């Protein structure tokens, strides 16, 4: 049995974190509760998590939580509120400043000294706090419960698959023939809706494994809203974006690979299938300035954050006919095409809607779940993002919601993931991405 001490950011990241420590004991320093109190007000996910955790803690708490602890259930450890003098000598000799992090370190050192025969581990998503803890000889770890095993799975290039029978590719071109994975004798079975390049000695073809018919089918290069795929990965993206049977799509890739543009173009081309197209992105505040401090109305406050989405819409208008541009403007006027911030999604329900969630790498796994559970009948959700470019301070390439969703949903028939690898914004953008 181990003793885990939780930092505030672990609770703000996952309100149900105390359910994930099996039969080990959990200690929450009293200063963490003081910190949570500062996050109670607000509409962001961290504010919701703070309120949710405090409510659940109140349900199970009695006075013994400070001394004997309270049991978390059969086969599980106990939960303690850890009181501390906040002046452990080992801590104050090295870190004299009286800040919350140092109080947590002091509480952890007190616990170590009072339980010398039990392993004590500080769990925090703050890298600097982990470094400070290790400098004092304290074992410190990240919160691993919702981390994926390897982020490389979501940034690799789709590999080519090879077959020996050259007549198969010819028949797929000439007759639109479809084959099972057994007939193609592939070494490794593909994931549901996996797209790849099928090759023999002299030719190749872009294909997708369709789980609904259990066949490998030819990908037809589509054009949507004046946008044509410029590489194989973009053709893969259009293939899954335009299939109504696929309800959830993840598009990953670096800047300039066309993730948001392809999703928006595909959505507009299917406007007769969906009643509403909704583009959303999380608001990541800059320089610690909350959105409420910005001047103007709600719409004026979020407009600078939504500008990248308007830029993509402008590209589509530029590549489309005047008639199509007029239709897009009509959709906006009627409210069938709308752009907004994710902060206002809680409590909503979307039916027959094509939802595009941009910059999804800045969302936590719980936020991703909250968004997906808003989907009603006939709704398709597309999440786009670059898992190597994260602006949230307590997320990384292995713990962000986009990677977590791909890891958990992979091989589900209604889910597809495409990783875009080649920048198509411009020659200048591609060179700068590689060299700078």
The per-residue pLDDT for range 329-381, each reduced to its tens digit, is 888 888 888 877 776 676 778 899 999 999 999 998 888 998 999 899 999 99
Report the alpha-carbon angle 56-58-64, nearest 5.
120
pLDDT at site 361: 92
Structural fold of domain 226-435: Rossmann fold (3.40.50)
Do 414 and 247 meet the contact criterion of CB atoms below 8 Å apart? yes
* Cα–Cα distance for residue pair 115/121, rounded to 1 Å: 12
pLDDT of residue 150: 62
φ, ψ (nearest 5 deg) of residue 355: -100, 130
Domain ranges of the chain: 3-141, 226-435
pTM (2 d.p.): 0.79
Q: What is the pLDDT of residue 76?
A: 93
Block residue for tokens 């997320």: 395
Lowest mean pLDDT among 311-325, 355-369, 391-405: 311-325
CA angle (397, 374, 154) in 5-degree steps: 20
Tokens read off for 385: 């993002």
Sign of CA dihedral 295, 300, 306, 312: negative
Q: Provide mean pLDDT across the span 22-34.
A: 94
| pLDDT, tens digit, 9 for 90 and up, residues 156-214 | 667 789 998 889 999 999 999 999 989 998 888 899 999 999 998 889 999 999 999 99
At 85 the pLDDT is 67
When pLDDT is cut at 50, 70 and 90, the band that residue 35 belongs to is: very high
Instruction: Give me the CATH topology for the region 3-141.
Output: Rossmann fold (3.40.50)
Residue 287 binned pLDDT confidence (cut-offs 50, 70, 90): very low
Q: Give me the pLDDT at residue 288, please.
A: 40
Domains 3-141 and 226-435 share a fold: yes
């Amino acid at each position: 049995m181990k003793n885990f001490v939780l930092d505030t950011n672990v609770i703000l990241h996952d309100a149900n974190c105390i359910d994930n420590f099996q039969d080990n004991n959990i200690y929450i320093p009293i200063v963490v509760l003081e910190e949570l109190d500062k996050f109670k007000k607000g509409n962001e996910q961290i504010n919701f998590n703070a309120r949710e955790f405090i409510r659940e803690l109140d349900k199970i708490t009695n006075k013994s939580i400070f001394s004997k602890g309270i049991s978390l259930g059969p086969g599980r450890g106990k939960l303690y509120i850890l009181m501390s003098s906040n002046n452990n000598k080992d801590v104050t000799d090295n870190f004299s400043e009286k800040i919350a992090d140092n109080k947590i370190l002091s509480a952890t050192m007190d616990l170590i000294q009072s339980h010398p025969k039990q392993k004590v581990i500080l769990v925090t998503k703050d890298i600097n706090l982990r470094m400070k803890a290790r400098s004092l000889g304290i074992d410190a770890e990240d919160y691993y419960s919702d981390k994926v095993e390897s982020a490389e799975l979501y940034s690799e290039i789709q590999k080519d698959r090879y077959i020996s029978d050259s007549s198969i590719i010819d028949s797929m071109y000439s007759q639109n023939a479809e084959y099972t994975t057994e007939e193609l004798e592939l070494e490794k079975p593909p994931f549901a809706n996996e797209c790849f390049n099928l090759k023999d000695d002299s030719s190749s073809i872009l294909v997708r494994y369709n789980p609904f018919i259990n066949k490998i089918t030819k990908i037809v290069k589509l054009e949507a809203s004046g946008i044509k795929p410029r590489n194989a990965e973009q053709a893969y993206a259009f293939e899954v974006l335009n299939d109504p049977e696929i309800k959830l799509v993840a598009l990953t890739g670096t800047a300039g690979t066309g993730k948001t543009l392809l999703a928006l173009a595909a959505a507009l081309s299917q406007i007769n299938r969906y009643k509403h197209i909704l583009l959303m992105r999380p608001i990541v505040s800059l320089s610690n300035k909350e959105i409420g401090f910005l001047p103007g109305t709600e719409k004026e406050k979020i407009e600078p954050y939504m500008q990248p989405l308007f830029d993509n819409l402008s590209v589509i208008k530029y590549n489309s006919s005047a008639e199509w541009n007029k239709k897009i403007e009509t959709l906006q006027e009627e409210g069938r095409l709308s752009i907004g911030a994710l902060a206002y999604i809680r409590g909503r329900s979307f039916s027959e809607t094509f939802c595009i969630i941009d910059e999804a790498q800045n969302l936590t796994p719980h936020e991703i779940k909250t968004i997906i559970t808003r989907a009603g009948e006939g709704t398709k959700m597309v999440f786009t993002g670059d898992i190597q470019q994260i602006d949230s301070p307590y997320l990384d390439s292995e713990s962000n919601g986009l990677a977590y969703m791909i890891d958990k949903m992979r091989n589900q028939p209604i889910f597809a993931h495409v990783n875009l690898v080649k920048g198509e914004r411009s020659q200048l953008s591609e060179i700068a991405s590689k060299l700078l």
